[in-house]
A and B are shown apart, each in its own frame.
Chain A
Amino acid sequence: MSASAPPVDAGSQDRARRLSETVFRVRELGIVLALLLLIGVTAAIEPRFIHLGSLQDLARNASIYAVMAAGQTLVLVTRNVDLSVGSVLGLSAYISADLLSHGSPMIVAFVLGILVGGACGLLNGFLVTYGRVPALVVTLGTLYAFRGLAFLLTGGAQINAESLPDSFLKIGTGTVLDVPTIAIIALVVVIAVGLALRNFRSGRELYAIGSNEEAARLAGIRTSRRVVAAFVTSGALAGVAGVLFASRFGTVDATAGNGYELTVISAAVVGGVAINGGVGSVYGAALGALLLGCITSALIVLKIDSFWQQAAVGALLLIAIAFDRFIGLRLDAALRQRSAARAA
C-alpha cells in the first residue's frame, strides 16, 4: 500500500477551486452589474442622471462612505464591528475644521483628523481585546461617548464654509481631469487597504483571526495586537473621512456623520463582507458604498420619496445576505461532494 495508492481525480479538484474562485469574483461582479443596471434604468427615465456633473456628485457622495467602509472591512473580517465610526467622523470633522478656520495649514488638519480617529480606534480596540467586552457593546458605548464629546467641543456652534480656506474646500468640490479629487483620494485609500489585506501577513492574519481565533492563537498570531490594529485603522480612516466631510460640505457641527455607521456597515455587507468574519474584500465594501450612494442619487433624480430610499437600502441588504447564504450553502455542498467523491 504505497502512499500514492488512492487514485485522485485532479479534474474535480480543479472544478472545486474554479467554482469557489468564480463565486468570489461573481460576488463583486454582481454589485457592478447591479450598479450598471441601476444607472441604466435611471438614465433611461431621466437622461440628466448620466450628465457629468451628476455622476461627479455621485462619486463624491460615495467617496466618504467608501473610505469608512474600507476601515470597517478590516474590523468586520476579524469578527468584530465598529459602530462608532459616524461619531468619530463628527469629532474629526469638527476638530480639523476648527483648526483650519483658525488658520492652521491643511496638512496639520489632515494629520490631526487622522490622529483623533486613530486614538478613538485605539480606545475601542483596547476595550475589546484587553477589556474582553464584545465589540458591539464597546463601540455602541463609544458611539454615544464620542458624539457627546463632539457636542462638548462645539458647544452648539457651527463652522461655515466662509471661515474655511478655499484650497481646502477645493478638495471636496474640485476635480482632476473631470474626476472629483475626493474620489481619487478614496480610490487610493481603498487600493492601499485592499493590497495590505490581500498581500501582507498582517492582513491575512486578520482573516485567520476571524475564521478561527483559537487556531490563529495556536499558529502564533498575536491576535490582540492585530485586532487593536484593525480598530485603530478603522478609526483613523473615519478620521480621514471626517476631514473629507468638512471639505465636501463646508458646514460642520456636532451632528456631522450622524447615522453613517449603519450605512457603512450595510455597504460592507452588501459588498460581501461576512458579519461573522473571515470573508470579504475592501473592494467589495467600496463597491457596496458606491451602490448605496447610487440608489440615493437615483431616487432623488427620479423624485421618489426619501422613505423609499430606506426601504430600497433595506431590501438590498436582505437580498445580499440571502444571496451570500444561498451561495455559501451551494458552495459548501459542492466542495463537500467533491471531497467525498474523491475519498470514495
Chain B
Amino acid sequence: MSVTTTEIPVLALAGASKSFGAVHALREATLELRAGEVHALMGENGAGKSTLVKMLAGVYRPDEGTVKVDGAAVAFHGPLDARDAGVAIIYQEPTLFPDLSVAENVFMGRQPLASGRRIDRKAMHDQVNELFARLGVELDAERPVRGLSIADQQIVEIAKALSFEARVLIMDEPTAALSGAEVDRLFGVVRTLRERGAALMFISHRLEEVFAICDTVTVMRDGAVTFDGPLAGLTSDDLVRQMVGRDLDALFPKETASVGSQVLKVERLTREGVFTDISFEVRAGEIVALAGLVGAGRSEVARAIFGIDRWDGGSVELLGRPIHNGRPNAAMRAGIGFVPEDRRQQGLVMDLSIARNATMTRTRALAHLGIIRAASERALATEWGTRLQLKYHRLDDPVGRLSGGNQQKVVLAKWLATQPRLLIVDEPTRGIDVGTKAEVHRLISQLAGEGLAVLMISSELPEVLGMADRVLVMHEGRLTGHFTRAEADEERIVRAMSGQTQEVAT
C-alpha cells in the first residue's frame, strides 16, 4: 500500500471547471489517480462527483482546466476516446446486452477471429475464463447475461475493462446494490487489480468501505474539492466534517405547524429482500423525512404504502383504517397522494396539456355522464395553477414545455386536487433550479401548516434538515435512525445512513 507521490499520475484533472447555465457544477477541481492505488471520491449528492466522473469518462469536456493522461494534456471527444486512453468506467447500472452470452458481452466488436474472419468461439470463451481467473471469480462465460445479479454484471463490466487493457478503473457507487458477500468479492477483485498496477477510483457513501479499501481520498462539497490526500490518519469524523459543514441557508422556509392526530401508521412493514420491519407514523401537520442512500429501500417503502408494490408482511393504516395491500386506487380513495421520484416518466404525461395533467386524478369527478368538458378541466387547473403560483403560457401547452420546477408544481396540483390527508413526495426537488427549489419547499411546508401529513423522501441532507419535523434514516432496507428536528444534524444522519446504528432513538 505504498503511496509514492513522486510518480506521474496515470489520469489527472487539473483545475477543471464546468458550468451548466448558471449552475457551477464543478469549480477548479484537481484530482490525481496513480497506478497501484485505490482512490476514494466522496461527497454528498449534488457535490459534483458525477460531473467529475463524466469528465474523466469523456462524456463532458471541461470549460476550464485539463484532463491529463500520463502527465500530458488530452482532449476526450467522447467515451470511446477515454476508453482508448485506457480509462474504464463501471456505472451503477451496467450497460450490457441481456440477450447475449457473458463472453460476447466482454468482447462485443472485438471478438477473437479464426480463419476467414469467423469468430473463434473457443478462443473467446478461453480468454474470458482467463480474465475471470485473473479476477479470482467464477462466472460461466457461455450463459446469457439476462438474470445475472447486479454484482455479477459488474464483474462482467470489469472483465470487459480488463480485456482492453484498461489502466484506470472508475467505479461509480459499485456497492450500492450489493450484498455483504458480494461486496467482499468485489473488494477482492479491486485488491487484485491494485496489485497488478491499475489505478482505481471508488465512489461510495459508505465510510467503512472507504476505510476498508482505499489509500487516498478526495472529498467534494458544492462543486469544489475540500480535501485531497492520503486516507491514513483520518477518522470517519474527519471525512464527515469535510463533506458537510455548510450553513443551512434561507432555502428552507420551514413554517412551524401544530402537530395534530395520527394520519399514517406503518407497522412492521416487510417486503422480502427489499425492506424489513419498517414501523413509523406520520401526524397531521408534520413533515417526516425518510433519508438514506440510493438503494436503501426508501422509495420502495413509499411505493408499498401507496399500493404500487405489494408488501409481504406488516400493515398500513390511514386515519385508523387499514389500507389494502397492492391497490393504488384504494390508497388514493383513502386519501394518499404520491408524487413520484421520476416526474418525467411516472409523474406526468409529457405530451399532454398542463390542464389535462393537472386534472388527471379527478377525471371521474369532472365527468358528467362520462364526458369531460374542457371548460371544467380548465377551471380546476386554473384554480390550482393560481394557488401554486404556476408559471405557464397557456393551459393547453404540453407540460413538457414547462421548467422542471413548474412541472413538479403540476404534479403537486394533480395530487392536491384529490384533497389527500397524506402526501408522499419522493425527491421533490431533484433536477430543479435553486430558486424554484425554495418555492417547492415553501409550498410543502405551507401545506403541512394547513394540516396535511407529509412523508418526504430526500437524498439531499440540507433539504432533510431544513424541512423535516422528524427524520427517519434507512440503511439496506432497515430503519437505522430516528431523530427529532432538534436532535438531527448532518453527522448523525450520515452515520445512520452508512449503517452505524448506535444512535437509534425510540
Q: Which residues of A contact B (CB under 8 A)?
A: 1-6, 8, 10, 13-14, 16-17, 20, 199-201, 204-205, 207-208, 210-212, 214-216, 218-221, 278-279, 331-332, 334-336, 338-340, 343-344
Chain B contacts with A in 124-175, Cβ cutoff 8 A: 135-140, 142-144, 146-149, 151-152
Nearest chain-B residue to A196 (Cβ)? B118
Q: Are the CB atoms of B117 and A200 closer together than 8 Å? A: yes
Complex Cα–Cα for A5 and B189 (A): 11
Q: Are the CB atoms of B185 and A204 closer together than 8 Å? A: no
Most chain A CB neighbours (cut-off 10 Å) among B83, B99, B119, B179: B99
Complex Cα–Cα for A277 and B376 (A): 45
Q: Are the CB atoms of B97 and A3 closer together than 8 Å? A: no
Given A200-B117, A339-B149: A220 in contact with B99 (beta carbons within 8 A): no
Q: Are the CB atoms of A212 and B97 closer together than 8 Å? A: yes
Q: Are the CB atoms of A278 and B80 closer together than 8 Å? A: no
Q: Are the CB atoms of A220 and B109 closer together than 8 Å? A: yes
Among B104, B184, B188, point to the contact of A204 (Cβ < 8 A): B104
Which 6 A-B pairs give the minimum distances between C-beta atoms? A335-B147, A3-B136, A3-B188, A278-B99, A211-B97, A8-B138
Q: Are the CB atoms of A211 and B143 closer together than 8 Å? A: no
Complex Cα–Cα for A14 and B138 (A): 12
Nearest chain-A residue to B119 (Cβ)? A199
Complex Cα–Cα for A334 and B135 (A): 26
In the complex, chain A residues whose CB is within 8 Å of the CB of B109: 201, 205, 208, 219-221
User: What does the 1/0 interface line of B85-99 toward A look like (CB < 8 Å)?
Assistant: 000000000011111
Q: List 4 additional contacts besides A6-B184, A204-B111, A215-B96; criterion CB under 8 Å.
A: A13-B143, A211-B98, A218-B95, A219-B109
Nearest chain-B residue to A338 (Cβ)? B147
Q: Are the CB atoms of B100 and A208 closer together than 8 Å? A: yes
Complex Cα–Cα for A278 and B144 (A): 12
Q: Are the CB atoms of A4 and B96 closer together than 8 Å? A: no
Complex Cα–Cα for A211 and B149 (A): 18
B211 within 8 A of A: no
In the complex, chain B residues whose CB is within 8 Å of the CB of A212: 95-98
Among A199, A219, A331, A334, point to the contact of B108 (Cβ < 8 A): A219
* B140 → chain A closest CB, angstroms: 4
In the complex, chain B residues whose CB is within 8 Å of the CB of A201: 109, 111, 113, 117, 119
Among B140, B179, B191, point to the contact of A343 (Cβ < 8 A): B179
Among A5, A199, A215, A216, point to the contact of B188 (Cβ < 8 A): A5
Among B97, B136, B146, point to the contact of A216 (Cβ < 8 A): B97
Q: Which residues of B contact A (CB under 8 A)?
A: 79-80, 83, 95-100, 104, 108-109, 111, 113, 117-119, 135-140, 142-144, 146-149, 151-152, 179, 181-182, 184-185, 187-189, 191-192
Nearest chain-A residue to B148 (Cβ)? A339
27 pairs from A and B in contact (CB 8 Å cutoff): A1-B188, A3-B185, A3-B189, A3-B191, A5-B184, A6-B182, A13-B140, A20-B144, A199-B119, A200-B119, A205-B109, A207-B99, A207-B100, A208-B100, A208-B104, A211-B97, A212-B95, A214-B95, A215-B97, A218-B95, A220-B109, A278-B99, A331-B146, A332-B147, A343-B149, A343-B151, A343-B182
Among B135, B138, B184, B188, point to the contact of A13 (Cβ < 8 A): B138
Given A20-B144, A343-B149: A211 in contact with B187 (beta carbons within 8 A): no
* B193 → chain A closest CB, angstroms: 10
Q: Are the CB atoms of B147 and A200 closer together than 8 Å? A: no
Q: Are the CB atoms of A1 and B119 closer together than 8 Å? A: no
Q: Are the CB atoms of A3 and B135 closer together than 8 Å? A: yes
Complex Cα–Cα for A221 and B137 (A): 28
Q: Are the CB atoms of A199 and B118 closer together than 8 Å? A: yes
In the complex, chain B residues whose CB is within 8 Å of the CB of A204: 100, 104, 108, 111, 119
Q: Are the CB atoms of A20 and B143 closer together than 8 Å? A: yes
Complex Cα–Cα for A215 and B79 (A): 12
In the complex, chain B residues whose CB is within 8 Å of the CB of A340: 149
Q: Are the CB atoms of B184 and A336 closer together than 8 Å? A: no
Nearest chain-A residue to B151 (Cβ)? A343
In the complex, chain B residues whose CB is within 8 Å of the CB of A1: 184, 187-188
